[in-house]
């Protein structure tokens, strides 16, 4: 590993990098690989019970606030997570059709009994998937990893340094 001032040199992405080489590895490669693998694993598990991750997001959002949200509010709050600008609106329609969501007199979305049962079942599945993902990782290691990622996001979003490939 070569040091440049206080910075470590950037090596090309190497899936076989040994521990002593990890400091030179590009975060974009490894965080992208982790995102893809974990998301695929979760979505595959959900597909086995005919549910999508965006459907789970919507069920949680409708359930999770102090007041029942309207359709536009749910779409606005979740679109940044979705694969496209129209996905969350489609998911709301799917869940209304599936009768997991209803609309009250004030045009607010609410979970039906079937929707709440699905949300609870999905929550249990997510906990199981999380246990697989976190196998062999202590809470302290997990917190440390998230702190590092959060700091990296703050560094680049806050203009904390020169822009460049990672």
The pTM (predicted TM-score) of the whole model is 0.80
User: What is the pLDDT confidence band of residue 143, given thresholds at 50, 70 and 90?
Assistant: very high
The rounded percent of the chain whose pLDDT value lies above 70 is 90
Give the alpha-carbon dihedral of 10, 16, 19, 23, to 10 degrees.
10
7-16 per-residue burial string, b: 16 or more CB within 10 A, e: under 16:
eeebeeeeee
| Six token digits for residue 86 | 């129209």
Distance between CA atoms of residues 75 and 120, nearest Å: 22
pLDDT 10s digits, 99-113? 999 999 999 999 999
Query: For residues 108 and 70, is the Cβ–Cβ distance under 8 A?
Result: yes
Q: What is the pLDDT of residue 99?
A: 97
């Amino acid at each position: 590993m070569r040091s440049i001032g206080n910075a470590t040199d950037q090596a090309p992405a190497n899936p076989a990098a040994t521990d002593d080489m990890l400091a030179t590895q590009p975060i974009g490669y490894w965080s992208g690989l982790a995102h893809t693998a974990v998301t695929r694993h979760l979505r595959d598990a959900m597909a086995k019970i005919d549910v999508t991750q965006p459907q789970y997001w919507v069920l949680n959002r409708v359930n999770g606030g102090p007041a029942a949200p309207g359709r536009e509010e749910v779409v606005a709050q979740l679109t940044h997570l979705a694969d496209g600008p129209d996905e969350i609106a489609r998911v709301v329609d799917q869940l209304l059709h599936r009768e997991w969501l209803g609309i009250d007199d004030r045009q607010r979305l609410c979970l039906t009994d079937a929707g709440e049962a699905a949300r609870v079942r999905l929550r249990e599945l997510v906990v199981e998937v999380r246990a697989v993902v976190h196998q062999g990782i202590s809470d302290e290691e997990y917190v440390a990893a998230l702190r590092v990622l959060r700091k990296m996001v703050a560094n680049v979003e806050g203009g904390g340094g020169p822009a460049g490939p990672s």
